[in-house]
Amino acid sequence: MARLDISQLSFSVGDTEILRNVDLCVEDGKCLALLGPSGCGKTTTLRSIAGFLTPTSGEISLDGTSVLGLPTHKRNVGLVFQDYALFPHMNVADNIAYGLKRRKVATTERNRRTAAALRLVQLEGLETRTPNQLSGGQQQRVALARALVVEPDVLLLDEPLGALDRRLRDQMQVELKRIQRESGITTIIVTHDQEEALSLSDRIAVMLDGRIEETGTPADLYRRPKSRAVMEFLGASNILDAVVESGDAGLTTVRIGGDCSLKIPAQAASGSAVRLGIRPERISIDHAAHADGDNNLTGRVMEAVYKGTHAEIYVEVAGVAPLLVRWRDTSERTIEDVRIGDTVHLTIDPDAILIFE
């Protein structure tokens, strides 16, 4: 267990910059998700920490000691690969004991720790199976046990749930969270799946185009992202172009197109162009017209997509880009009441509007 610090990490192949001055820090025992689209450099960061790649410049240290000079096998990092990379010619117990054998742990101690690791991932009784006799979820657990049993300073998970089907993924999410908490190992999860990042980690670092765009707790990043890119990447969002009309008493009026304007709780120079970000669930939608007030819009239903827990409704507002609105059924109203072409009234809470330049 250790604190991981990465500073000014860069990696280039020829003229292509894959990592650009990446700064990251994971506190002892915490779990950080490195979230980004494919090709953003998150796997390169992970491989640099593991020692499979030598960065062009920058520093990686564990508890303040640089690990850059060390080859992979001396770094004490645990890795869970996307495809698990279990040893196909060894059974489950031998797979898990592999790292202990390399560390010359005595047989009795090795057996004790292997058994404990199997218990942690709830695979007791499968010791003598070979990897090809296991389901995807079981292979995932073996890979996890194999990485954890050596008590690594840092645990690195590469798209840990990517290869599992939906149900298993939800189940393993809970499992993974429990295992990470119980083992207390500093963890980095690399993922392109925002839900995985939001649910598994203590902190998220959003990575775009080779740099860390923003870091924060899952709730912070979701509710108050500092950039449009992070807002768009993390969950569904509406991004609107707007022009500042006037400002008074903390509320600024912006025109979002046509004759629609919104009041936003921010100061901006009159005439300047801004971008607004609004989460779909922060827009209320109703068939009945609202009483007079701020931030009311009227539109027409273009499309409604039912998602089970909620529905997503695309609303066309004259002069404005289509707005995505989240609909929840209540005892009074259900999604069946919404028909394409219906006129609906939207209200946006000023506090729910984020402003990006």
Comparing CB distances to other proteins, the nearer of 46 and 240 is 46
Runs of H (alpha helix) within the chain: 42-50, 92-102, 107-120, 136-148, 166-183, 194-200, 218-223, 228-233
Residues 152-191 that bind other proteins (CB under 8 A): none
Comparing CB distances to other proteins, the nearer of 156 and 301 is 156
Comparing CB distances to other proteins, the nearer of 102 and 328 is 102
Comparing CB distances to other proteins, the nearer of 53 and 251 is 53
Residue 146 in contact with other proteins, rule: CB under 8 A: yes
Neighbour tally for 348: CB within 10 Å: 22
- Total binding residues toward other proteins, as defined by CB under 8 A: 26
Residue 6 in contact with other proteins, rule: CB under 8 A: no
Least distance to other proteins from the beta carbon of 211, Å? 25
Task: Name which position in 12, 56, 72, 253 contacts other proteins (CB under 8 A).
Answer: 72
Comparing CB distances to other proteins, the nearer of 79 and 230 is 79
Least distance to other proteins from the beta carbon of 100, Å? 9
Comparing CB distances to other proteins, the nearer of 19 and 156 is 156
Task: Name which position in 13, 63, 102, 328 contacts other proteins (CB under 8 A).
Answer: 102
Comparing CB distances to other proteins, the nearer of 88 and 293 is 88
Task: Name which position in 39, 63, 73, 219 contacts other proteins (CB under 8 A).
Answer: 73
Least distance to other proteins from the beta carbon of 104, Å? 10
Residue 98 in contact with other proteins, rule: CB under 8 A: yes
Rounded to whole angstroms, how far apart are CA atoms 114 and 141? 13
Beta strands (DSSP E) in the chain are: 4-13, 16-26, 31-35, 57-62, 65-66, 77-80, 154-158, 186-191, 203-208, 211-216, 238-248, 251-257, 260-264, 273-278, 283-286, 296-306, 311-316, 323-327, 343-348, 353-356
Taking Cα atoms as reference points, which of 186, 201, 190 lies closest to residue 154?
186
For the record, the structure tokens of 343 come out as 């006129």
Task: Name which position in 13, 27, 65, 103 contacts other proteins (CB under 8 A).
Answer: 103
Paired strand residues for 257: 260
Residue 52 in contact with other proteins, rule: CB under 8 A: yes
DSSP line for 323-342: EEEEE---SS--GGG--TT-
Question: Are the CB atoms for 287 and 242 separated by under 8 Å?
Answer: no
What is the side-by-side strand order in the sheet with 296-306?
A: 283-286, 343-348, 296-306, 311-316, 323-327
Q: Which amino acid is at 104?
A: K
Taking Cα atoms as reference points, which of 4, 10, 17, 19 lies closest to residue 207?
19
Residue 83 in contact with other proteins, rule: CB under 8 A: yes
Q: Which range touches other proteins (CB under 8 A), out of 65-73, 249-257, 306-314, 315-323?
A: 65-73
Q: Which range touches other proteins (CB under 8 A), out of 76-84, 247-255, 267-275, 343-351?
A: 76-84
Comparing CB distances to other proteins, the nearer of 52 and 135 is 52
Question: Are the CB atoms for 346 and 317 separated by under 8 Å?
Answer: yes
Q: Which range touches other proteins (CB under 8 A), out of 25-33, 145-153, 271-279, 340-348?
A: 145-153
Q: Which amino acid is at 293?
A: G
Q: What residues line the site for other proteins (CB under 8 A)?
A: 50-52, 71-79, 81, 83, 85-89, 98-99, 102-103, 146-147, 150
